[in-house]
Structures are given as structure tokens and as C-alpha cells.
Structure 1
């Protein structure tokens, strides 16, 4: 006979790895073509000018330039990339 009480098995004790979602390049940062700007599930941020969208809704820069976060209507947010010559235009429109 056993003199120790057997330990029961458990069905818990696992956890998945974090997905590392979120904004990777913030407004005003200089980026190169292909840089990932936002990792997301669904389109919390929509692609704006010079920004592409991957099959997992990742936003990435299509050109070298500066990142800007803008509004698209009342509730949508979009991310755009502008070159040095056109980066000042969205700020002038907003003010």
C-alpha cells in the first residue's frame, strides 16, 4: 500500500503567448517602405495615404516618409505616410 497520497492531475496550467499587438510606429516618426506601423485584429486603424494592409490587418508603409494619425469621418481612424514635402499639409488642414 502507498504511504503517500497520490497527486491528482490538473487540466489547467497552460497559457498562450501574447500576440504583441498595437502601434509600432507613432505619429511624427520617420519610416522606411515596408515598416510595420500597426499590428491589430480587425481594422481599429484604417489604411490612409501610402499605407498598405496585410491579410492579418497589419498596416505597413508603402513609401519612405513620416507617419501621421488622422481621423476619417466621425469614428474611423486612419494612418498615413507622407514624404517630407507633403508631411506639413495634413497639419495645416487640421489647424
Structure 2
């Protein structure tokens, strides 16, 4: 006979890997072209001067300078710019 009763299975215990999203370079930091500034899903932050947007909405620097975060426009969009130091 069985010494212990068989344990049931569970339907839990799975999770997806974290995607490491968020701001990678903060305001005032000096960056060079190609540096990733923000990883995001959708456009939480919009590209300003000296910044371009990748196909997965990643913001990256295209010029050298300091990172600047601003709230702009009628719709209060958060923009990320790179201004020459």
C-alpha cells in the first residue's frame, strides 16, 4: 500500500519574464548617439530634439549631449530631448 496519499497537481506556477522596461538614461546625463534612453510599450514618452523612436517604441539618442525631460503642448506630452551641453 501507498505510504503517502498522492499529491494533486497545480495549475499555477508560471509567469512571463520581466521585459526590463523604463527610463535608462535620466535627465542631465550625458549621452552619445545610439544610447537607449527609454524602453517602453507604446509612447509614454515622445521623441524630442536629438531623439528618434524605434519600431518597438524605444527612444534612442541620435546626437551627443544632455538628456532633458519636458512636458510639452496642449496634450501635456512627456518628451525626451538631447540638448548639446
TM-score (norm 2): 0.91
What is aligned with 2:5? 5
Structure 1 residue runs without a partner (length 5+):
85-95
Give the structure with the higher percent helix: 1
Aligned positions of 1:1-95 closer than 5 A:
1-74=1-74, 75-84=76-85
Distance 1:28 1:56 in 2: 25
Q: CA deviation at 1:69?
A: 0.7
TM superposition outliers: structure 1 runs of 4+ over 3 Å: none
Structure 2 residue runs without a partner (length 5+):
none
Distance 1:2 1:38 in 2: 57
TM-score (norm 1): 0.82
Kindly tell me the number of residue pairs found equivalent between the two proteins.
84
Q: CA deviation at 1:60?
A: 0.3
**Structure of greater relative contact order (alpha carbons < 8 Å, 6+ residues apart):** 2
Q: CA deviation at 1:3?
A: 3.0
